[in-house]
Amino acid sequence: MEVGLGEARLYTAMETILAGQTEPIDKMQSLRQYELFHPIGGTHSAAFRVLLGFFTVSVLAANVWAVGGSLTLHLEDESTQEPVISRVEFFRTDPGKKDRPMPIRQTVSAGIGVVVDRSVVLELPDSSYRFQIVRGPEYRLVGGNFTLEKTSLDEKTVKLPRMVDMRNEGWLSGDCCVVPSSQSLPLRMASEDLHVAAVLDDVPSKPIPHRDADDMIDNDPSWIRSDVAVNQGLMFYHVDDTLKQSIEACGSSSEALVAATTSDTDNSPKIAIENPFAWELPIWLASQRVDGVFLFGDWLRLDKTIYQVSDGRGEEAFRLRDPTQVGRYAERVYRQMLDAGIDIVPLAGGGDESAATPVGYNRLYVADAKPASYDSELDQPHVPGTADRWWEQVWNGCSVATNGPLLRPLLAGRLCGHVFEGRTGEVLRLQPELNLTVRDPVDYLEVIHNDRVHYSARLDEFAKAGGKIPPIDAKESGWVIIRVMTQYEGHYRAAVTAPWWIEFDGQRRVSNTALEFFREWLSDYEQHLMSTRPDDVAKEAPFVRAARRYWQRKATTDN
What is the pLDDT at residue 266? 66
Quote the strand ranges of 17-69, DSSP E.
31-36, 48-52, 60-65
**Please, are residues 365 and 406 in contact by the beta-carbon 8 Å criterion?**
yes
The rounded distance, in Å, linking the Cα atoms of 486 and 540 is 41
Task: Note whether residue 3 is domain-resident.
Answer: no
CA dihedral 410, 413, 463, 474 (to 10 degrees): 90
Question: Whole-angstrom Cα distance, residue 301 to residue 351?
Answer: 10
- What is the rounded distance in angstroms from the CA atom of residue 221 to the CA atom of residue 190? 10
Claim to verify: residue 440 and residue 502 sit in the same structural domain? yes
Q: What is the pLDDT of residue 416?
A: 98
Same-domain status, 234 and 102: no
**Strand 452-457 to strand 375-382: parallel, antiparallel, or no bridges (unpaired)?**
unpaired
- Domain assignment of residue 533, yes or no: yes
Same domain, 179 and 307: yes
Say if 214 falls within a structural domain: no
Q: How far, in whole angstroms, is CA 294 from its chain's centroid?
A: 10
CA distance 94 to 100: 8
**Residues 265 and 322 reside in one and the same domain:** yes
* pLDDT score for 57: 27
Query: Which pLDDT tens digits describe the chain residue by residue (559 residues)?
Result: 222 222 222 222 222 333 333 332 222 222 222 232 222 233 333 344 445 443 232 333 334 443 347 899 999 999 999 999 999 999 999 999 999 999 999 999 999 999 999 999 999 999 999 999 999 999 999 999 999 888 778 899 999 999 999 999 999 999 999 999 999 999 999 999 999 999 999 999 999 999 998 999 999 999 999 999 999 999 999 999 999 999 999 999 999 999 998 876 667 899 999 999 999 999 999 999 999 999 999 999 999 999 998 889 988 778 778 999 999 999 999 999 999 999 999 999 999 998 789 999 999 999 999 888 778 889 999 999 999 999 999 999 999 999 999 999 999 999 999 999 999 999 999 999 999 999 999 999 999 999 999 999 998 899 888 889 999 999 999 999 999 999 999 999 999 999 999 999 999 999 999 999 999 999 999 999 999 999 989 999 999 999 999 999 999 887 6
Indicate if 153 and 293 belong to the same structural domain.
Answer: no
Q: Is residue 112 part of a domain?
A: yes
The pLDDT of residue 151 is 76
Tens of pLDDT, residues 362-421: 999 999 998 887 788 899 999 999 999 999 999 999 999 999 999 999 999 999 999 999
Same domain, 448 and 326: yes
* pLDDT score recorded for residue 547: 97
- Structural domain count, the chain: 3
Do 523 and 501 fall into the same domain? no
pLDDT of residue 373: 76
Q: Is residue 215 assigned to a domain?
A: no
- pLDDT one-digit tens code per residue, 16-39: 333 333 332 222 222 222 232 222
Is 314 contained in some domain? yes
> 491 lies in a domain?
yes
DSSP 113: S
**How confident is the model at residue 300, as a pLDDT?**
97
Q: What 3-state class would DSSP assign to 340?
A: coil
- Greatest Cα pair distance, the chain, in angstroms, is 81
Strand duo 375-382 + 478-486: pairing: unpaired
Please report whether residue 304 resides in a domain.
Answer: yes
* Residue 14: CATH number of its domain: 2.60.40.10
Query: Do the beta carbons of residue 368 and residue 355 sit within 8 Å?
Result: no
Domain boundary, last residue among 496, 512, 528: 512
Which residues constitute the domain of residue 540?
Answer: 514-558
Q: Would you say the pTM of this structure is higher than 0.75? A: yes
Q: What confidence score (pLDDT) does residue 316 get?
A: 78
